[in-house]
Structure 1
Amino acid sequence: MPQLTVGELARRFGLETHVLRHWEDAGLLQPARDASGYRRYGPDDVTRVAVILRNKAAGMTLEQVGVLLDGGAANRHEVLEAHLRDLAERAESIERSREMTEHALRCRAHDITACPRFAGFVADVVEGATFEGDGWHRRHPHD
């Protein structure tokens, strides 16, 4: 694979060039420089961009992605374990939403929210679960 310019790499992934520069400033990318000082991206950089995009789409912050890509990060396992827990919670939430949507498609009720089975899909939220940045949490009764 030939070395790519910042513009070529950005186009390959449908990004603006400033995004790649920002990721470089954040320490996620370290492109080589040619004799004129221009950035040149190789196959490893292409893979790193793909890793960043995949994990950002899955809810990782750039800081978490940085830890993922830094094999020597002191808190690497803790950050990655926390992300796995977050993914599991998101997957559960997505599955509940899928089930609720499938039920809504099959249900003949005019007002879907009056359907007891449909309401069961959101009972945890009605009973006090709240969504925060790291997933669903139960409110304490004394809150």
Structure 2
Amino acid sequence: MKSSEAGTLLSIGDAAARFGLPTHVLRHWEAVGLVTPARDGAGRRRYGADDLTRVAVVVRAKRAGLGLDAIRVLLSAADPAERRAVLVGEAARLRTRIAAVQASLDLVECALDCEHDDFTRCPHYRTHVALGL
């Protein structure tokens, strides 16, 4: 089982390896309803092209910072308004995370730009820290 391009189904090990994932991740995603691979006569999971596309979507969405619950709705909701509502919420959550990371970067850069021997005693740095609280 090396390829699913010509209709060949991949084992869970081959599918996981294709995405650089441990097999337990695919099992978990199946348990929470994100993927539903076919089973062979012996009950082993078999991943086809559609399954691999779905795994790729989940991987990409996770990299974008989305949680599994949000991904499940995006993949399964029939109502476009429901999917849009999830995306609006995720966008707001990501903006909040970006702002927090930017504030952290600003603090680090303030410390790097400080000319004092001990930046923690620098009045400018202390003001920067206080403003961030």
Please give the residue correspondences for 1:95-134 in structure 2 after superposition, counting only pairs within 5 Å. Answer: 95-126=102-133
The reply to whether residue 15 of structure 1 matches residue 21 of structure 2 is yes
Letter in 1 for 2:130: A
The reply to whether residue 67 of structure 1 matches residue 73 of structure 2 is yes
Match of 1:28 in 2: 34
Higher strand share: 1
Q: Shift of the alpha carbon at 1:120? A: 4.4
Name structure 1 gaps, 5 residues minimum.
127-143
Higher helix share: 2
Instruction: State the Cα RMSD in Å.
Output: 2.4
In the alignment, the residues of structure 1 paired with residue 132 and residue 106 of structure 2 have an alpha-carbon distance, to the nearest angstrom, of 16
How much identity, in percent, do the aligned residues show? 46
Q: Shift of the alpha carbon at 1:22? A: 1.5
- Give runs of ≥4 in structure 1 deviating > 4 Å: none
Q: Shift of the alpha carbon at 1:55? A: 2.8
Q: Shift of the alpha carbon at 1:56? A: 2.8
Q: 1:55 is matched with which residue: 61, 64, 67?
A: 61
The reply to whether residue 38 of structure 1 matches residue 44 of structure 2 is yes
Name structure 2 gaps, 5 residues minimum.
none
What is the TM-score when the length of structure 2 is the normalising length? 0.75
What is the TM-score when the length of structure 1 is the normalising length? 0.71
Letter in 2 for 1:75: E
